[in-house]
Amino acid sequence: MESGRRRILAGAATALALLPVFLAIWYVAAIPLAWIPGKAALPVIRVASGGAATMALKGRELVYTVKLEMPYRPGGVPRVAAEVEVAAAKYTYGIALFLALALAMRQSRRPVPILMGVVILVVLPAFGIAFDALKQLGATRGLPPFLAWGTAMREAVALGYQAGTLLLPTLAPVAIWLVVGRDVWLPPAFAGGSRAT
Amino acid sequence: MRRFVILFPVLLLALFAFQLTPPGQALVVPWTELVADTSAGLVRTFDGDARSMGKVLFSERTGFAVSIEAGCNGVEAMLVLLAGILAFPAPWRLKLIGLAIGVVAIQALNIVRIVSLFYLGQWDAKWFEWAHLYIWQSLIMLDALIVWLLWIRAVAQAPQPSAQA
């Protein structure tokens, strides 16, 4: 077998062996890890909902309390408060995949890029968490009149939720690893940008 | 390299948005049903106790059922691989070969995922959740990554066509 191919398969096998170890470590650290993207998601939730939002950790769940108001009308200002729970672990487990990949191959075992990758992967789940909370707010009975979202906003929330749930958690660690470990995969001709399509 | 970095996310986002639209769903829904049907057929081969109805795979004996939703039909991983292969500079013949092998590799592992979750769910809900939410999601993306890495090695070693303008 060609050496490059053998190196990739050996690296993949090592990553596979490391993955359960890092998933176990991640699971232990998942609660404090949830706090950072949870807080980072707050401004997005506030701006998109147009209300006041606070966050609390309840077990492994992030609980967002959102208070919304409608413009003044005779009889007072209509107010409503809603609580939505987001399972943050669904968005942060990519850290384990990234560490397994990064440490599996010698060419990507570079401490500073790995640390930077981990920092990005701690903050990035804020995207999925924010859109998960917004999707739930949009589906909460009685809330849509307070949110006053148009069709475009509802579509954007749906797309953001799908991308944040289905793509980002696994794609982000792989994409960051491709940057950190580009010596593993980048063919010399491609690196030089000289290939014709 | 710059071309790939720009083209890959653009293609991925376009493909991902398309599969959420009604024409995209017209392809995804029958595909998902085919995945459920194939999984049921595979389970029946071994212990004869699985049926599929639409995108739901269920056991007649225990009543346990799994619904194959978005994220569990392997479509997202196929889209990532499709975008990765299309964005990478390579002859179209090699792109088509890479895509064909990639679809088979991803869907074969995805069938294993569904069958394993079907049994795991009947055994222990906690392990089902763990495998469903974290382990298999990572493994399917790892599968797509390995196919792509092997494919670009093959592209780099393929005989070069004469230079094009």
Distance CA A163, CA B79 (A): 12
Instruction: Name the residue type at position B140.
Output: I
To the nearest whole percent, how much of chain B has pLDDT over 70? 96
| Strand runs labelled E in A33-166 | 52-58, 61-69, 79-87
Contact list in A for residue B152 (CB cut-off 8 A) is 185, 187, 190
Quick check: A28 contacting B, CB < 8 Å?
no
CA A157 vs CA A45, A54, B19: distances in Å: 11, 20, 16
Q: How many CB atoms lie within 10 A of CB B79?
A: 22
The pLDDT assigned to B27 comes to: 94
Quick check: B5 contacting A, CB < 8 Å?
no
| Strand runs labelled E in chain A | 52-58, 61-69, 79-87
Please say whether the beta carbons of A132 and A164 come within 8 A. yes
pLDDT (tens, 9 = 90+) of chain A, 197 residues, equals: 677 788 889 999 999 999 999 999 999 999 989 999 999 999 999 999 888 999 999 988 999 999 988 877 777 778 888 999 999 999 999 999 999 999 998 888 889 999 999 999 999 999 999 999 999 999 998 888 888 889 999 999 999 999 999 999 999 999 999 988 888 777 655 554 444 34
Quick check: A8 contacting B, CB < 8 Å?
yes
